Amino acid sequence: MFLKRAVLALQALLAASVLAGAALAGPVVNSGHIESELAPQEAGIAPGGTVYVALRQKIQKDWHTYWRNPGDAGEATKIAWTLPAGWRAGEMVWPTPIKARLGPLLDYAYEGEVLIPVPITAPADAQVGTTVSLTADVSYLVCEQVCVPEDAKLSLLLPVVAGAPTADPKWGARIAEVLAKAPKPAGLKAVFKLEGQVLKLAVTGGPLKGADMADAYFFPYSPKVIEHAADQAIERGPQGLTLTLKPGYDFVGGGTPPAELAGVLALADGAAWEVTASASALPADAAGLGAPPAKTKTAVGAPGGLIGAVALAFLGGLILNLMPCVFPVLSMKAASLAGHAHHEGKARLQGLAFLIGVLATFLALAGLLLVVRAGGAAVGWGFQLQSPLVIAALALLMLLVALNMSGVFEIGTSIQGVGAGASARDGALGAFFTGALAVVVAAPCTAPFMAGALGYALTQPAAVALTVFAALGLGFAAPFVTVAFVPGVLRRLPRPGAWMDVLKKGLAFPMYGAALWLTWVFAQQAGPIALGQVLGAGVLAAFGAWLYGLSQGRRAAGRAFVAQAAVGLLCVAAALALALSAAFMAKPPAVAAETSPAGAGLVAEPWSPERVAALRAEGRPVLVDFTAAWCVTCQVNEKVALSGAKVAEAFKAQNAVYLKADWTNRDPVIAKALAEFGRVGVPLYVVYPKNGGEPAVLPQLLTEGMVIEAIDKAGGA
């Protein structure tokens, strides 16, 4: 009877958990010196989504387990997953270890409690409403003065849910913190050189400029490249540091010297980054060269530090106004400016409101980006346009803005006096909205000077990062604000009149183009069925806007208009619901494995790190195009610089290969590759020369000549 009641209670608990959309952890397993369990970051998983499931270990006092490289002795923790068909487990995310000394030995270990997250990915056809069982067979070595091998069989029940799952109330924040602190690439440049019986490792760039590196330490991934117990002497320089290491078996003991030296560089304050060093001469700016160590503190004010990043961000913001992404919204700016050309007070108010809208939106997007990255997600600038949900909503918004500019309906005024009253429309709220919308549309672009500034910003504390993003916003808003505060420029425009209504309606067409472009991006992300739903939503929204405009005309004529207006608004609301539903239910189209034509004779292969390595091993030049459907600059470059017959001939002559890394949908592998070049957004064009050598990064605005010259140079290497 007791067993039956226990089974019924367990079934009831499972049913309640599934109904609540929450994960149900298996029992905590005590293997002797460690308590282990599986802990999810989120309470469920969406079809095709990824959730981090952490191995949590509570380690007995004075005992320890081991990092991926255990050091001089020990064994790394291992996890063998048993998952349903189609489910995949990624690589373990190892937190930075501590140094544990035992006599002459030095181990890399964990003490107290450790969470080791692992990304679990569901197949796209996972059935919503079902619950899957994840099982992990964990083996580890736990040591004090003696070492004991232990193991545990752990389990977790995870519901498949529609839409984005909520954070697990117990473990969500904890795992997010672990992922945020885990070592990640940060665009650091690292080289090593064996000098007699000394191994020199120099690391420069990004977050090291101005950092306190007094207790820096390098944890290698391989157990055979250095003598772990030997001290690591530090030489600090204006751009980074040089560590003096004692070489290990692979360098001086008869092993094979590695081509790369990979591991984690950790500082005393807990900051840690992944570095991969290549064999090369040491840079002069990595070591002090006799200068006092205190000089490293001044690097923050150097051109490569915060002041330099702010200056680059401001310049990048200025140039961003000229990028193709922003062209549609320039029409809104032009119409608004023309309406207040001869009202200096209103023009200045609009300029300030536009500035506030730009800054608020830039900082909001930057803050959200920092939070998402702190949670462990591999995202970059323009990340919001990787969401079909955002794209669908923006497409409808652009359509409604265009219809408003075409005069189908009016906002905040009657339909009468369009010409005479044009200057009274589009007040401070409209200018704020225009600034916000301009930023949202401009976000996918990275203009010249922006890439380095943003790459720097996202490796710094939040306050520094937001300062750089604020400078970017100031640069972006500067032209419009400057014109609004220069009366001489404004007075050159004609007096308000009927011509302004014609101008406004003419400038609506770029907005229609923006709506079409966003719809095309949505099709790349969500497939043809969801595209049909969004197109239907667009027709419904246009019908609702027309009805609402008719109601405004009836109101102007003194007739009843409430019912007509209500029906129009309901149609717009229904259109939005239909578009969002399409985004939620969308399934990304399958990526073709075969090559796809990029232009006249030039073909693009899908990018992968393995494919790059294989082509470089063959001694062939490679151009990698990091792109996305929502990046207008990327699409312009492809048509202008990558689709001509001359470019195809250059590739053929040099036996070069064109690889395309498509970041239209979120892809952590591409995000990691971007981070290795210090970038957080697209476009990025990288040319790998034949027979090895450092890759070259091309400008963000390409011409055929640039591409041909780069390929010819890479082929002659």
Token duo for residue 167 = 């954070």
Residues in the chain: 717
pLDDT of residue 468: 83
Residues of the chain with confidence (pLDDT) below 50: 1-3, 6-20, 288-304, 375-378, 412-426, 591-599
Tell me the C-alpha to C-alpha distance, in Å, between residue 711 and each of 652, 656, 701, 714, 716: 10, 7, 16, 5, 9
Q: Which CATH superfamily is domain 23-171 in?
A: Thiol:disulfide interchange protein DsbD, N-terminal domain (2.60.40.1250)
d(CA 245, CA 285): 19
Place of tokens 């923050």: 300
pLDDT at position 115 is 97
pLDDT of residue 433: 78
Which pLDDT value is given to residue 304?
A: 47
One of 1.20.1260, 2.60.40, 2.40.50, 3.10.450 is the CATH number of 185-288, namely 2.60.40
Q: Which residue intervals of the chain bear CATH 3.40.30.10?
A: 596-715
How much is the pLDDT for 702? 85
The CATH class given to the 596-715 domain equals alpha beta
- SS3 of 456-522: HHCCCCHHHHHHHHHHHHHHHHHHHHHHHCCHHHHHCCCCCCHHHHHHHHHCHHHHHHHHHHHHHHH
pTM recorded for the entire structure: 0.43
What was the pLDDT predicted at 313?
79
Looking at the chain, the domain(s) classified CATH 2.60.40.1250 span 23-171
Q: What contacts 536, CB < 8 A, 6 or more positions away?
A: 578
Can you give the pLDDT at residue 291? 34
For 236-295, how does the pLDDT look when each residue is reduced to its tens digit (9 = 90+)? 877 788 899 999 888 886 778 888 999 999 988 888 999 999 988 777 656 543 333 333
